[in-house]
Amino acid sequence: MTDSSKSKPTLSPREIVERAEAHPAAVPFLWLGSEKVRRGFIVVPLVGTILFSLLGLIYPLHHKAPWDFFASYAVIGFVSYSFVVLSAWPLFKLLGRPENYYGEGDGDE
């Protein structure tokens, strides 16, 4: 005498609505929207950062890299960010399309 309701997970009314409104390909990934998973997405990188920082203190590098100077990551980040920002204008000129590229609007917007 087994109760079939105990073996099947029950869905809340909110979850039923989410499944009904979601694209069929998205249904297996709806668990990513739960509050528990969202909180975990900040915990995992935080734990990883702390762990590898401690490992770096326990086992320091024996050979310094050429870019290991004072504020090296700030300089590298600034140069990289500047490159991305300054490359926006040439990329816009290269990839931009005129306003009427897709034809005149049919009014079905």
DSSP the chain: ---HHHHSPP--HHHHHHHHHS-TTTGGGGGGGSHHHHHHHHHHHHHHHHHHHHHHHHS--SS--TT-STTHHHHHHHHHHHHHHHTHHHHHHHH---TTTT-S--S--
- At 32 the pLDDT is 86
- At 94 the pLDDT is 92
- At 34 the pLDDT is 83
Domains: count for the chain: 1
Is 65 contained in some domain?
yes
Structural domain boundaries, residue 12: 4-95
Is 102 contained in some domain?
no
Is 105 contained in some domain?
no
CA distance 98 to 109: 19
- At 5 the pLDDT is 53
- At 74 the pLDDT is 92
- At 52 the pLDDT is 92
Query: Which residues of the chain fall below pLDDT 50?
Result: none
Is 101 contained in some domain?
no
- At 4 the pLDDT is 55
- At 2 the pLDDT is 56
